[in-house]
Copies of this chain bind each other. A is one copy, B any other.
Amino acid sequence: MGTNQNLTVAERIRKQFDSLTRAERQLANAILEDYPVSGLGSITAVSESSGVSTPTVARMAKKLGFGGFPQMQAQLHTELKATISSPIAKHDLWSESAPDTHILNRFADAVSENMRQTLKQIDPEEFNAVIDLLSDQKREIHVVGGRITRSMADNFFTHMQVMRSGVTLVAPNSNTWAHYVLNMNEGDILVAFDIRRYEHDILRLAEVAKSRGVTLVLFTDQWGSPAAKLATYSLNSRIEVPSAWDSLVVTLFLVEAVIAGVQAQTWDETKSRMKTLEELFDQTKMFKKFI
């Protein structure tokens, strides 16, 4: 052995092929056949699929310089991971003029990873269902956020308000929420934002709303707010970044994607509403001097 340390299993096999016995060659060929996934299962599975006995597999592993079959398999796993994790320059996204350790690049890394994970996890059916639900003009929409997510709620509200009527932003101060609940009716939708640290008030509002027949659409993080169990639809986003706070970038991405979806779905009406809005802006000429 000695210098085999950093070689792949395939390289070791090729290097030592001449010294392999008949049964070992049969095994080696089977492994190279569908490399490296062929060595994935147990020694029994490998031996059966290649038509040799288990001792032969174990012996060859040692012959190739591994401590035993498990060690060889671990090496195959490592190679597999390297193959899978896309060679696409991870730092494709980086600001090249800043050093690797710069907060901009570390943040960019974290955010793009969050984005990837979130997209991987999202169920398009659920996403479409949310859009359908929010496009239903017969349902009133109530939007609520917490201390940190308030800005998400606000943003969501601002855009939805342009597209349709019957959208209410629940004020941040939970003292006033009873009044909002009064206006929640069966069939209405509550769009809630709740990421860690989850807010008890939001959970309670969700409970009360639920009891009035309101459908809950929840934007939360990967761990899932306690309100998730009440939610008909739950859109989870990854929020971890190198900071003392969590990142809402991916959450905002989902919000904007939902908004774009609703807009596409309701375009005929939205278009005319937007036009009217433009006219109103012009009329009120909000551009007065203020000093």
Residue numbers of A with Cβ under 8 A of B are: 10, 14-15, 17-18, 25, 29, 32-35, 37, 40-41, 74, 77, 80-81, 83-86, 88-89, 92-98, 102-104, 107-108, 111-112, 115-117, 119-124, 127, 147-148, 150-152, 154-155, 158-159, 174-175, 177-178, 181, 200-201, 204-205, 208, 222-224, 228-229, 231, 234, 236, 241-245, 247-249, 252-253, 256-257, 259-261, 263-264, 270, 274, 286-287, 289-291
Contact = CB atoms under 8 A, between A and B. Distances in A.
A89 B92 contact: no
Given A37-B77, A200-B287, A244-B270, A32 B121 contact: yes
Nearest to A111: B253
A266 to B, nearest CB: 11
Majority secondary structure of chain A interface residues (helix, strand, loop or mixed): helix
Given A81-B37, A115-B112, A201 B107 contact: no
A194 to B, nearest CB: 14
Given A119-B95, A124-B102, A260 B287 contact: no
A252 to B, nearest CB: 5
Given A25-B224, A148-B158, A242-B260, A291 B121 contact: no
Contacts of A15: 123
12 contacts: A32-B121, A93-B115, A102-B124, A103-B261, A104-B257, A107-B256, A108-B119, A178-B291, A201-B287, A241-B260, A248-B252, A252-B252
